[in-house]
Amino acid sequence: MAGLDAATLLGALRPRQWTKNGAVYAPLLFARAVLVEGAALRATLAVLSFCLLSSGVYVVNDWVDRERDRLHPEKRHRPIAAGRIAGRVAAALVAVCWAAGFALALAARLELAGLTAGYVGLQLLYTFLLKRLVIVDVVAIAIGFVLRVVGGGVAIDVPLSNWLFLCTLLLAVFLGFAKRRHELTSLQAEAASHRANLSDYSLPMLDQMLGVVAAACLVAYGIYTVSPETIAHVGSDRMKFTVPFVMYGIFRYLFLIHRRGAGGSPERVLLSDAAFLVNLGLYTAVAAWALYA
């Protein structure tokens, strides 16, 4: 237990993965509610809630998978897999994270607390069962992303657009299959030892699935930008100008998967690839202009 300090405890919470919870802000942006009084604060409370709740789940997952993670070239360095955090400390971390996370959800909106309880339940079901089932594991990950977006809508009391639901689901499935592909290529013969259902996947199958879902993402988002519903909501058809940035982002991610061996950690791509970051910034700027100008 030597070396147990604040940095070790923070590492067990996987703070880099908190970037995934930025999806909670999507309804705030697309519902044109950024300037509505109190909406940004409630959305931020929801983001912080999901960060803490997901960190608690990560600690549970890392404790359950600690033996298998020691076979992984990257995961073996996580504090629990490396043996730097004992079970009682891990349990305390989970309790603190979940208590604070649910308190923040309640502070944002009562209905959000119920939704976040469902989110934690799904993540625990994934940890103990669903991640062993081929394809179901990726769908479960995608539903987790959808619940984040739904949570953002619940926090600010706006209905979730069908288009936002569909695009989020497809993009999350895309990222999930990319993660499985990365695990399969990086672990090779040891893949099944780390995750049993990886033996049910193959690179040709995953590449085909990635191609299908990538195309579906582009088509769904493109139709969303020019649909009568969106044009009526925005007051113009200017959202169509964001399509090139979405197209580039998906193609850039595919490039990083196939040529740079990325895909295992979407948050790492988001935080480290300069071209991806610039594209994301430009997309946000153009979307904000289209929605609010």
User: Based on the domain organization, do 145 and 236 belong to the same domain?
Assistant: no
Among 125, 160, 195, give the residue marking a domain's end: 160
Q: What is the pLDDT along the chain (293 residues), one digit of tens a residue?
A: 445 688 899 999 999 899 999 999 999 999 999 989 999 999 999 999 999 999 999 999 999 989 888 877 778 888 998 889 999 999 999 999 999 999 999 999 999 999 999 999 999 999 999 999 999 999 999 999 999 999 999 999 998 889 999 999 999 999 999 999 988 887 766 665 666 788 889 999 999 999 999 999 999 999 999 999 999 999 999 999 999 999 999 999 999 988 877 766 777 777 788 999 999 999 999 999 999 88
Q: How many other C-beta atoms can be found within 10 angstroms of the C-beta atom of residue 190?
A: 13
Q: How far apart are CA 262 and CA 253, in angstroms?
A: 8
**Residues 151 and 170 placed together within one structural domain of the fold:** no
Question: Is 21 in the same domain as 148?
Answer: yes
- C-alpha 181/C-alpha 251 separation (Å) is 16
- Distance (Å, whole) CA 138 – CA 205: 14
pLDDT of residue 260: 79
Q: What is the pLDDT of residue 152?
A: 96
- Counting the structural domains of the chain, the total is 2
At which of 145, 160, 175 does a domain end?
A: 160
Is 168 found in the same domain as 154?
Answer: no
Last residue of a domain, one of 160, 193, 224: 160
pLDDT on residue 267: 78
Phi, psi torsion values for 135, nearest 5 degrees: 70, -45
69 and 200 in a common domain: no
Nearest to 168 by CA among 147, 192, 193: 147
**Together in a domain, 123 and 108:** yes
Q: How far apart (Å, rounded) are the C-alpha atoms in residues 3 and 146?
A: 37
CATH of the domain at 10: 1.10.357.140
> Does 237 share its domain with 185?
yes
Q: What is the pLDDT of residue 40?
A: 95
Are both 234 and 191 inside the same structural domain? Answer: yes
156 with 168, same domain? no
**pLDDT reported for residue 74:** 79
The pLDDT value given to residue 264:
66
Range of 27's domain? 1-160
Question: C-alpha angle 21/24/30, rounded to 5°?
Answer: 140
